Amino acid sequence: MLIAAGQLALVVHPSLPAKSVKELIALAKAKPGALNYASTGSGGSPHLAMELFKTQAGVKMVHVPYKGTGPAITDVISGQVPVMFPPLLPALPHITSGRLRALAIAGRERSPAARDIPTMAEAALPAFEASAWFGIFAPAKTPREVVARLNSEINRALQAKDLRERLVSQGAEPRGGSPEEFEKYVKSEIAKWSKVIEASGARAD
């Protein structure tokens, strides 16, 4: 079952003359290939989210992969690379301090941790959604009654106030649901990201 979707945020260095997603798209279209974007590594969620952005926005930007979130965010803060889709939680302190400018949240809903940041759908791209999601799987031959019991107990746990608050504080959106809904979601994610990977030529490190 789907436990939670980790929020990603589209951020830019404050020196970049783009204060909205639409302005970033206009800037990238005016200078094809001139803007670089950082990621936490090739094939990861921040990389694929930007490739999806490039496809939907019709822009060309150059990928600069890093080995992890920390080094990537550090170079965006310093202005070495002007754009990134980092996980919201480690980026939020820098957004709050003004060292990073947040343009949008990549998820389907605004984050409770940063309600003033619009979603990508609100900002410019109605069909855009990307997240680093987390789920629980069981071996293929697990009895259905065992799967149903596990699903019921995990859903119950996800309703606990302290767990929900913990997930939200980490920039995640608690989900839950049935095994059938999760199976459908996984299949849709595979189909969606397969197209992005094929179009971009993205490969995991």
pLDDT in tens, 8-30: 999 999 999 999 999 999 999 99
User: Where would I find the beta strands (DSSP E) of the chain?
Assistant: 2-6, 9-12, 36-39, 62-65, 83-84, 101-105, 132-135, 172-174
Q: What is the pTM of this model?
A: 0.84
| Band of pLDDT at residue 205, cut at 50, 70 and 90 | low
DSSP 111-150: BTTBTTSPBHHHHT-TT----EEEE----TT--HHHHHHH
Domains and their CATH numbers in the chain = 2-133+182-200 (3.40.190.10)
Residue 59: the pLDDT is 96
Please give the mean pLDDT across all residues of the chain. Answer: 91
What pLDDT digit, counting tens, does each position of 127-170 carry?
999 988 889 999 999 999 999 999 999 999 999 999 888 888 77
What pLDDT digit, counting tens, does each position of 55-87 carry?
999 999 999 999 999 999 999 999 999 999 999
What pLDDT digit, counting tens, does each position of 170-203 carry?
777 888 899 999 999 999 989 988 888 887 777 6
